[in-house]
Amino acid sequence: EAGVTQSPTHLIKTRGQQATLRCSPISGHTSVYWYQQALGLGLQFLLWYDEGEERNRGNFPPRFSGRQFPNYSSELNVNALELEDSALYLCASSLEDSRRTIYFGEGSWLTVV
Amino acid sequence: QQQVKQSPQSLIVQKGGISIINCAYENTAFDYFPWYQQFPGKGPALLIAIRPDVSEKKEGRFTISFNKSAKQFSLHIMDSQPGDSATYFCAASGTSGSRLTFGEGTQLTVNP
């Protein structure tokens, strides 16, 4: 069974640009979560999508946004990139009836220069 | 109140020794406490989890101890191996949603 897949693996953007990261959940999983892992700052919750709706949002500015598609895949958009947005962005998914157990992908490295 | 405090930040253990990582929380609404293991270049993987109705859960060499009154829980890795070298994160979530709150992480190094 395929795990959570993310693309791209690495992305380099210039300050002020926009970045789009993509995630495909494990087959059958309807919830998708996004986390930011910056160096030395642990895992910070960004967004939770379920059944196409945004269910919860972490303490991040509005330039971090996303969506979930009918096939449950998801996209994270970061607008007006800042140098401190450089981080590993992790997507995770879970079954609707087991939302506590989330499975992570390997992440997308975003570097803002 | 949403924070989970994890210690130590880094830990070095000899092969065969016991690795102990501790976490503390404030939010009494938390009722699910997983541990994740992350190898370099990989996403975190669920290792073991516990709910507050039990004080200990063991899976192989990994044991979670839970102290509800102290609002603390810990991960014990028995007979630590070099392959256990990774970053370990504790986490917690409550019934209000699926938002996992993670600790800061512990970088474990097991020397051969």
Q: Which of B43, B45, B93 sits opposite A100 (nearest CB)?
A: B93
Write the pLDDT tens digit of every residue in B44-61: 999 999 988 899 999 999
* A50 Cα to chain B: minimum distance (Å): 11
Whole-number pLDDT of residue A1: 67
Q: How many CB atoms lie within 10 A of CB A39?
A: 8
**Between β-strands B106-111 and B86-94, what pairing exists: parallel, antiparallel or unpaired?**
antiparallel
Whole-number pLDDT of residue B80: 97
Whole-number pLDDT of residue B1: 53
Residue B97 to residue A48, Cβ atoms within 8 A: yes
Whole-number pLDDT of residue A99: 63
Distance CA A86, CA A54 (A): 24
If 0-12 CB within 10 Å is exposed, 13-18 middle and 19+ buried, where does residue A44 land?
A: middle
Residue A106 to residue B100, Cβ atoms within 8 A: no
Write the pLDDT tens digit of every residue in A78-111: 999 999 999 999 999 988 666 678 899 999 999 9
- DSSP label of A16: T
* B7 Cα to chain A: minimum distance (Å): 13
Minimal Cα distance from A96: which residue of B? Answer: B98
Whole-number pLDDT of residue A98: 63
Q: Which two tokens stand for residue A61?
A: 């500015």
Q: Which of A90, A99, A101 sits opposite B46 (nearest CB)?
A: A101
Whole-number pLDDT of residue B111: 96
Is A105 part of the contact surface with chain B (CB cutoff 8 Å)?
Answer: yes
* A73 Cα to chain B: minimum distance (Å): 18
Backbone angles phi, psi at B51, to 5 degrees: -110, 155
pLDDT band at B42 (very low <50, low <70, confident <90, very high): confident
Mutate to test the interface with A, among B46, B100, B102, B104 (most CBs of A within 10 A): B100
Q: Minimal CA–CA distance to A75: which of A109, A24, A110? A: A24
Distance CA B43, CA B32 (A): 20
Write the pLDDT tens digit of every residue in B83-104: 999 999 999 988 755 678 899 9
Looking at per-residue confidence, does B19 or A102 come out higher?
Answer: B19
> Which chain A residues are Cβ-neighbours of B93 within 8 angstroms?
100
Looking at per-residue confidence, does B52 or B70 come out higher?
Answer: B70
Residue A90 to residue B103, Cβ atoms within 8 A: no
Distance CA A63, CA A77 (A): 8
Average pLDDT over residues B18-28: 95
DSSP readout, chain B? ---EEEE-SEEEEETTS-EEEEEEE--TTEEEEEEEEE-TTS--EEEEEE-TT-SEEEETTEEEEEETTTTEEEEEESS--GGG-EEEEEEEEETT-S-PEE---EEEEEE-
Contacts of B41 (CB under 8 A, 6+ apart): A106
Out of A18-22, A55-59, A84-88, B11-15, least confident range: A55-59
Q: Which of A4, A35, A56 sits opposite B97 (nearest CB)?
A: A56
Whole-number pLDDT of residue B56: 95
Contacts of A62 (CB under 8 A, 6+ apart): none
